[in-house]
């Protein structure tokens, strides 16, 4: 194991002066069970945020629909007034039902309300980056995103949003979006076992657009998990650390937002930035997705 650059090195968002350490922090798990209501220990959640920033993390991912409102209010309590250089990335395009469901919220009124809710609960005059969340819960769905995107562009022109990103989208939707406004980041489901965005990531890297994968351990089969466990044991690391390290080595435009409500888990996650996977283990991890694709092919 060799030490890499601090927190995986840095990445500058396209057409901006915003320089982010590649290992960030995702605030979703600061809310209660099922991302609903307050956590059992608000002081512990505050301590995790302060520890992350003290370690150098300058990229926090959140949304006003986490809780709802809970994570943003905890972020404000823990970190406001915010340190110079801290970038808070939020999302709009969904809301929570009374039954804890996740409901699409892409009307003009819902998007405007979502932006103003984030502004209010984070106690800022402008949001650093707002991701427009479209598609399904885990995957994109084709279709025009022009109408909701133009709402965010209007809010950007009003000075309420500095930069715009997209979540749960396809390459075609990105191309449509780029005819309307500058896009600085994409947030989609991707990990060592679920690699449908491989070509997309490479294309984004050529454009200097950040790719922020969510669920780094999501959707693994038991067999795939066993491969990850074996590699992790050989590195004397945890499966999560190996999954995060693989993502950092996958492409220089990948930024990570692992979330946790535990300081010990936070430290473990940040340590993954210093984990360098040798080429033979990278090949073994790459085979996880390759074997899954082969198994999915119809027999001839």
Query: Of the residues 66, 69, 82, 190, which is catalytic?
Result: 66
* pLDDT above 50 for 198: yes
Active site residue 21: no
Instruction: Report whether 44 contacts 34 (CB < 8 A).
Output: no
Q: How far apart are CA 91 and CA 72, in angstroms?
A: 11
| Radius of gyration, alpha carbons of the chain | 19
186 beta partners: 166, 211
Q: What percent of the chain has pLDDT over 90?
A: 91
- pLDDT-based confidence at residue 299 (cuts at 50, 70, 90): low
**pLDDT the model gives residue 296:** 62
- pLDDT confidence of residue 298: 59
DSSP at 184: E
Closest among 83, 28, 80, 34 to 214, alpha carbons compared: 28
Domain boundaries, the chain: 18-187
Q: How many helices (H) and strands (E) does the chain have?
A: 10, 11
pLDDT in tens, 54-80: 999 999 999 999 999 999 999 999 999
Q: Could you report the per-residue pLDDT of 103-112, keeping only the tens digit for each?
A: 999 999 999 9
Average pLDDT, the chain: 95
For residue 10, pLDDT over 50 is answered with yes
> Which pLDDT score, from 0 to 100, does residue 2 have?
36
The pLDDT confidence band at residue 294, using thresholds 50, 70 and 90, is low
Domain 18-187 classification at class level: alpha beta
221-237 mean pLDDT: 96
Give all strands (DSSP E) within 51-192, no chain letters: 59-61, 87-92, 94-96, 102-104, 127-133, 161-167, 183-187
User: Could you give the CA distance from residue 136 to residue 60 in angstroms, rounded to a whole number?
Assistant: 23
Whole-model pTM: value is 0.95
């Amino acid at each position: 194991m060799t030490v890499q650059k601090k927190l995986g090195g840095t990445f500058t968002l396209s057409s901006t002066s915003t320089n982010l350490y590649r290992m960030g922090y995702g605030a979703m798990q600061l809310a209660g069970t099922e991302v609903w209501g307050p956590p059992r220990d608000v002081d512990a959640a505050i301590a995790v945020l302060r520890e992350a920033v003290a370690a150098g993390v300058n990229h926090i991912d959140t949304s006003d629909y986490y809780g709802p409102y809970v994570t943003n209010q905890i972020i404000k309590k823990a970190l406001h007034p915010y340190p110079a250089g801290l970038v808070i990335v939020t999302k709009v395009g969904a809301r929570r039902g009374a039954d804890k469901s996740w409901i699409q919220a892409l009307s003009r009124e819902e998007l405007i309300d979502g932006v103003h809710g984030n502004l209010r609960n984070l106690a800022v005059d402008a949001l650093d980056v707002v991701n427009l969340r479209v598609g399904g819960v885990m995957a994109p769905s084709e279709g025009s995103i022009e109408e909701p995107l133009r709402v965010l562009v209007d809010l950007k022109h009003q000075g309420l949003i500095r930069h715009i990103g997209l979540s749960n989208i396809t390459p075609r939707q990105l191309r449509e979006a780029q005819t309307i406004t500058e896009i600085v980041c994409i947030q989609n489901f991707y990990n060592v076992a679920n690699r449908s965005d491989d070509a997309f990531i490479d294309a984004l890297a050529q454009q200097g657009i950040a790719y922020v994968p969510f669920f780094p351990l999501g959707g693994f089969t038991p067999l795939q998990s066993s491969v990850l466990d074996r590699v992790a044991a050989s590195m004397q690391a945890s499966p999560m650390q190996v999954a995060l390290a693989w993502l950092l080595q996958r492409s220089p435009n990948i930024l990570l937002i692992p979330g946790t409500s535990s300081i010990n888990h936070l430290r473990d996650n940040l340590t993954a930035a210093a984990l360098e996977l040798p080429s033979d283990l990278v090949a073994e991890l790459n085979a996880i997705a390759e074997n899954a694709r082969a198994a999915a092919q119809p027999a001839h």
